[in-house]
Structure 1
């Protein structure tokens, strides 16, 4: 068993903090270097030195290019709309399915859960070509709906919620039935309020995944005004930035900053949700 924090010696605590500090520095260094590069003029980006602090600041020029040469506000808004729509649909569809798999008894339940597990093994890359053909036939290419629809059903959400709901006391469900609630009402009024930790944890997973997704948007979107944040950076580099890495890093900082702020505000709920879903099976 791992030692409790209260049983560690001062030397042990210092070593643990040292290891965690080194790990944090390694993880944060690329982001710090990206921010530092966004402050530098082009000549300093390719200099032989490794200084984080620029000798001549080019903040206004770099961020002015990033904000002025593509509709950055529209790109960020597209990311918010797409991620929010996806996570709302995912939770709305996955929660009832997870409740049925966790608390209802019916023939084929274990087989259906096995199919959910199997679905976790199928990446979107394997089905992207037939999906693109279907979306082109339906007229969903170059639309925000084309970015949302493929991800409205999440087998990972079903799996995560099922693990959480299975650990809920059956007495809560039975009490709702005795009060005359339908199964749908039980999901809305009993399961959903108690499943917020799992829903919050999944929402962070979903937002991070789809905010950073470049593969599917690059397939269905070719218009700058419909681009999501990563695709907007790609369009910016192709059309304006070229080898101007200071401006390119400025654009990257702009599109990653909302995600960092979002995670910092939600990290407590994220850790709580992961802990509660991970310890109960």
Structure 2
């Protein structure tokens, strides 16, 4: 009786997970299907996932030639790498100080971090744009990177992770004569890779897919990020070329999917361990 109940419960859970996975994968499957269709198949009245006329080669050729895909991917990698690098360099020392050091402003900093989580980029977009315009730094990597160098979410994530690190380990490092920066570099960071990997996934996915901010500060195609580059497939007179658009979207999203699959184990570890409390 127990075995059958266990099997039934497991079957129900698996069915729910499969149903949820199908819902999340449906847009990606539709995108793969559309990337191989001719324009006539896309606007056909009958909906079919299998293309009647296979046009993968033509659509991918358009995606690679209509815009400089190499330049878009390079800009995306450069911007995401710079943002992530600055975020980690700032967030780890801040989180370590709040988690392991005692000072008067600790509670105030925690309140500021929690309030910072509530402020979206949309609320600060206008003053930032005006400031960058007066500094003449629009259409630059600086304009794309600078507003995101401090991540309050990253500080909060690392704070939760560092609280799980035993205080005895920190005290032992201090007895060995390490400075606080030495402890961060030689003790904290080597033990924080699961949290760093988890934060890397959040940061890279958010800024790789960001269209809002690049659309505001970039008008030069040389600095266009991948989502902004997709807008160049729009044509008001000839109509949108959805086949080439979906092919370009596949090219842009494939690196993210591959990176997540490779870092999946570390990502789960990081999210799980940030819930622990030392």
Specify the SS of the correspondent of 2:255.
helix
Report Cα offsets for 1:218-276 as digits up to 9, x if no partner.
01111112111100101232589842211111111111111111111111110110000
Report Cα offsets for 1:171-201 as digits up to 9, x if no partner.
1111111111111111111111111111110
2:34 aligned partner: 37
2:50 aligned partner: 53
Specify the SS of the correspondent of 1:278.
coil
Q: 1:46 to 1:239 in 2, by over 3 A?
A: closer
When structure 1 is superposed on structure 2, of 231-240 and 100-109 the one drifting more is 231-240
Structure 2: how far apart are the matches of 1:127 and 1:21? Answer: 40
Structure 1: how far apart are the matches of 2:254 and 2:236? Answer: 23
1:278 aligned partner: 275
How many positions carry a matched residue from both structures?
276
Structure 2: how far apart are the matches of 1:57 and 1:225? Answer: 32
1:113 aligned partner: 110
- The answer to whether residue 262 in structure 2 is matched with residue 252 in structure 1 is no
Task: State the Cα distance separating 1:145 from its structure 2 match.
Answer: 1.6
Task: State the Cα distance separating 1:138 from its structure 2 match.
Answer: 1.9
Structure 1, unaligned stretches of length 5 or more? 1-5
Residue pairs, 1:152-191, within 5 angstroms: 152-191=149-188
1:142 aligned partner: 139
Q: 1:86 to 1:245 in 2, by over 3 A?
A: same
Task: State the Cα distance separating 1:72 from its structure 2 match.
Answer: 0.5
The two structures, once aligned, show a CA RMSD in angstroms of 1.6
2:97 aligned partner: 100
- The answer to whether residue 78 in structure 2 is matched with residue 81 in structure 1 is yes
1:3 aligned partner: none
Report Cα offsets for 1:103-143 as digits up to 9, x if no partner.
11111210111111100000010011110111112222001
Structure 2: how far apart are the matches of 1:164 and 1:244? Answer: 46
- The answer to whether residue 225 in structure 2 is matched with residue 228 in structure 1 is yes
Q: 1:238 to 1:193 in 2, by over 3 A?
A: farther
1:33 and 1:52 in contact (8 A); partners too: yes
From 9, 12, 16, the equivalent of 1:15 is: 12
Task: State the Cα distance separating 1:7 from its structure 2 match.
Answer: 10
Structure 1: how far apart are the matches of 2:165 and 2:135? Answer: 41
